[in-house]
Structure 1
Amino acid sequence: MEMIELEGAQGGGQLLRSALSLSLCTGIGFTMHNIRGARPRPGLMRQHLTAVQAATFVGNACVEGAALGSTSLRFLPGKVEAGHYPFAIGSAGSTLLVLQTVLPALWRADAPSTLRIEGGTHNPMAPNHDFIVDSYLPALRRLGIEADVTLEQHGFFPVGGGVVTARVMPAPALTHASWAERPADVALEARVLVSGLSQGIAYRELGVLGKRLGVEVHPRHVQVVTSAGGVGNVVLVRARGSDHVEVFSGYGERGVSAEKVADRVASQVDRYLRSAASVGEHLADQLLLPMALGAGGTFTTTAPSEHLVSNARLIEKFLPVKIEWSAIDTELWRVSVAV
């Protein structure tokens, strides 16, 4: 079996997840050293370990080094099989990151699959359920990938306790897709989630978004989550265009005012709206892998992030593709994936 040596010191868990996805899809094994080496707590944490375990089960793989805190991993993929897969992270680690790890392998399988994943559903530094459902999955459908995700129970950091279920259909042939410059008619919508906290926090956050972005401020945009374990506060803004939706998020944290949380989200939205880019920074990175596994594509984004650059170079180690980006204007870049 062909093997690739990978260095994980300069990347986070994303490099490992992308390597697992690509290994399952290409049949190429890999060894990764110094996993998350630059992080304050290097090595595999629970959500990374669950992603490894999920890839192992889905792909009948052989793995060495799959343990909490491990900084090296050897992964030998086998045959990917469709089926029903339950996974429990055992912490507030992101259920959606685990899902994204095995999703490419399952859409290339020969039958539908279902998953049930327990852990966090709305995590800082990870795609949340709203982003996945409203932005990521619709983007995948334009590439010919059919999958849906249902939120069974919210799970907030640091308690977790959330549950998502997913259904993935076979996608035997993907299509080329393009996201050009964003249409001018973008509509903004705001929603705030609170769990175990005063609704007043949510109204203060909506007030800031109303002043800065002009979104409607109304009690119906506050969702009190009663089924979650633990305390949570999530600020969400959707930017709806004619053919694409971007989702921007912020999370309440101890010692940070509600106004500051909302102000940070408003600044994210402002930056996106100042640009003519169609795809936001976070989705830009996540489109590379499905495009590279399919028929390629192009999109415009605000700027190539460090995650996008490192993910592109990793993809090119597994696949005969060329990923390039070039500046068109201030905060407007074109990214192309040629297969």
Structure 2
Amino acid sequence: MIEIDGSFGEGGGEILRTSLTLSALTGKSFTIYNIRSRRKNPGLQRQHLSAVKLTKELCSAETKGDYLGSQELVFIPHEIKKEGEFTLDVTTAGSVTLIAVSVIPLIINRNIKIRIIGGTDVPKSPTIDYMRMVYLEILRKIGIQGEIKLIKRGHYPRGGGIIELSNFAGKGEEFEITEIGNVEEIKGISHVSSLPSHIAERQAKSAEEVIRKFLNVNVDISLDIRQGESEGTGITLAAFGKSIMGSDSLGEKGKRAEKVGEEAAVQLIEDLKTNAGVDRHMSDMLMLYTSLYKGKFTGAMLTMHAKTNAEIIKKFMQDRKIEIVESKPFTFKVL
């Protein structure tokens, strides 16, 4: 039984999600204590319980402590199911993309479709457009294909967004993603739901203006205008070269559309300047695949999320030699 202190490092929900993923994949049981103990609302919240519930269902796990507010969880996995259709309703605007990141490795080469209801574009998590434009593209580079379908957008605080995960398949390969190189094109999606369409237009225009101050490349930002869905707005950008880097920014009350576009563009330019293989957000998500398939990548920024994730991976993948070179960009290598 692997023991994990949920308060170490970044101390958030990612410790739990990575543990769930690796437990199901390796068949190793774990107990985690002090779950989110330093957070304002400590213990398991609905978003975290949703990840536990779905992972538990996928691998018929035995659990103890999976209730709201619990600061300790025991998780004993069994064999991952080979097929089936599953639906998970977070019941809040909790991030569906963070849950997707944790379960996608479990459904590769299995006839499984998953529908998740909750927040598709919420703070402190990848936007659904980032998942489709950047995350999926990086997976393709390492030999994994899959579909993430956006059915309905969900913003904080209403949620109600819907996504579907399906057709994930492929043979993961040892890989090296070490530089973005010359950027050939930047694509984007500027969206608005149940608000004036000019907001999305202004976000896109602002982002493009910032990008053109630094790069002379084709910029193609499409607009996604929706009605009848929870109010919200945001923009996601993706730069294509030898690899793919992305960024995003969400609107909020009192925040000008121009600021939203500028934030996403500035963050993307900052990461591109490092000439790393992946952006600051993809770094911690790619660590798990690097540990599974072996390989090497460079990341634009070694965040506390990434450092914490690496330590969790070491606990479950003791047969792997994991090396981190802390520089800018940083290097993550698994032998």
TM-score, normalized by length of structure 2? 0.91
Could you tell me which residue of structure 2 aligns to residue 21 of structure 1? 21
Cα distance in 1, alignment partners of residues 20 and 163 from structure 2? 21
Conserved 8 A contact 1:143-1:291: no
Q: What residue identity is the alignment partner of 1:333?
A: F
Q: Which runs of 4+ in 1 moved over 6 A?
A: 215-218
CA distances 1:83-122 after superposition (whole Å, capped 9, x unpaired) = 2111111111111222222222222x6x421111111111
CA shift for structure 1 position 262: 2.2
Q: What residue identity is the alignment partner of 1:212?
A: V
Could you tell me which residue of structure 1 aligns to residue 94 of structure 2? 93
Could you tell me which residue of structure 2 aligns to residue 157 of structure 1? 156
Matched, 1:69 2:69: yes
Q: What residue identity is the alignment partner of 1:280?
A: D
Aligned to 1:192, what secondary structure does the other structure show? strand
Cα distance in 2, alignment partners of residues 170 and 268 from structure 1? 32
Could you tell me which residue of structure 2 aligns to residue 138 of structure 1? 137
Cα distance in 1, alignment partners of residues 140 and 208 from structure 2? 32
Cα distance in 2, alignment partners of residues 247 and 273 from structure 1? 9
Q: What residue identity is the alignment partner of 1:206?
A: A
> For the structure 1 residues 185 and 99, does the alpha-carbon distance in structure 2 shift closer, same or farther, using more than 3 Å as the test?
closer
Conserved 8 A contact 2:175-2:295: yes
Q: What residue identity is the alignment partner of 2:240?
A: R
Could you tell me which residue of structure 2 aligns to residue 148 of structure 1? 147
Could you tell me which residue of structure 1 aligns to residue 211 of structure 2? 213
Aligned to 1:236, what secondary structure does the other structure show? strand
Which residue of the other structure, out of 313, 316, 334, is the alignment partner of 2:314? 316
Conserved 8 A contact 2:49-2:66: yes
Could you tell me which residue of structure 2 aligns to residue 12 of structure 1? 12
Could you tell me which residue of structure 1 aligns to residue 246 of structure 2? 247
Cα distance in 2, alignment partners of residues 134 and 189 from structure 1? 9
- Gaps of at least 5 residues in structure 1 are none
Could you tell me which residue of structure 2 aligns to residue 303 of structure 1? 301
Conserved 8 A contact 1:32-1:73: yes
Conserved 8 A contact 2:183-2:239: no
> For the structure 1 residues 170 and 276, does the alpha-carbon distance in structure 2 shift closer, same or farther, using more than 3 Å as the test?
closer
Could you tell me which residue of structure 2 aligns to residue 332 of structure 1? 329
Report sequence identity in percent.
32
> For the structure 1 residues 221 and 148, does the alpha-carbon distance in structure 2 shift closer, same or farther, using more than 3 Å as the test?
closer
Could you tell me which residue of structure 1 aligns to residue 189 of structure 2? 191
Could you tell me which residue of structure 2 aligns to residue 102 of structure 1? 103
CA shift for structure 1 position 146: 2.8
Which residue of the other structure, out of 175, 178, 189, is the alignment partner of 2:176? 178
Conserved 8 A contact 1:135-1:244: no
CA shift for structure 1 position 72: 1.0
Q: What residue identity is the alignment partner of 2:98?
A: L
CA shift for structure 1 position 227: 4.2
- Gaps of at least 5 residues in structure 2 are none
More displaced, 318-327 or 125-134? 318-327
Conserved 8 A contact 1:210-1:216: no
Could you tell me which residue of structure 2 aligns to residue 275 of structure 1? 274
Cα distance in 2, alignment partners of residues 4 and 126 from structure 1? 27
CA distances 1:15-67 after superposition (whole Å, capped 9, x unpaired) = 10000001101111111111111211111111110100001100100111111
Cα distance in 2, alignment partners of residues 144 and 189 from structure 1? 22
TM-score, normalized by length of structure 1? 0.90
CA shift for structure 1 position 202: 2.5
Cα distance in 2, alignment partners of residues 185 and 52 from structure 1? 39
Cα distance in 2, alignment partners of residues 106 and 209 from structure 1? 35
Conserved 8 A contact 1:124-1:251: yes
CA distances 1:183-228 after superposition (whole Å, capped 9, x unpaired) = 213322333111122223233323322321128899x833211242
> For the structure 1 residues 142 and 189, does the alpha-carbon distance in structure 2 shift closer, same or farther, using more than 3 Å as the test?
closer
CA distances 1:144-189 after superposition (whole Å, capped 9, x unpaired) = 3232111111111211111111114455x52101112222133223
Cα distance in 2, alignment partners of residues 56 and 327 from structure 1? 35
Conserved 8 A contact 1:154-1:227: no
Q: What residue identity is the alignment partner of 2:96?
A: T
Aligned to 2:107, what secondary structure does the other structure show? helix
Matched, 1:257 2:256: yes
> For the structure 1 residues 38 and 287, does the alpha-carbon distance in structure 2 shift closer, same or farther, using more than 3 Å as the test?
same
Conserved 8 A contact 2:20-2:102: yes
Question: Alignment RMSD, CA only?
Answer: 2.0
Q: Say how many residue pairs are matched.
A: 327
Conserved 8 A contact 1:130-1:247: no
> For the structure 1 residues 251 and 92, does the alpha-carbon distance in structure 2 shift closer, same or farther, using more than 3 Å as the test?
same
Aligned to 2:134, what secondary structure does the other structure show? helix
Cα distance in 1, alignment partners of residues 124 and 334 from structure 2? 25
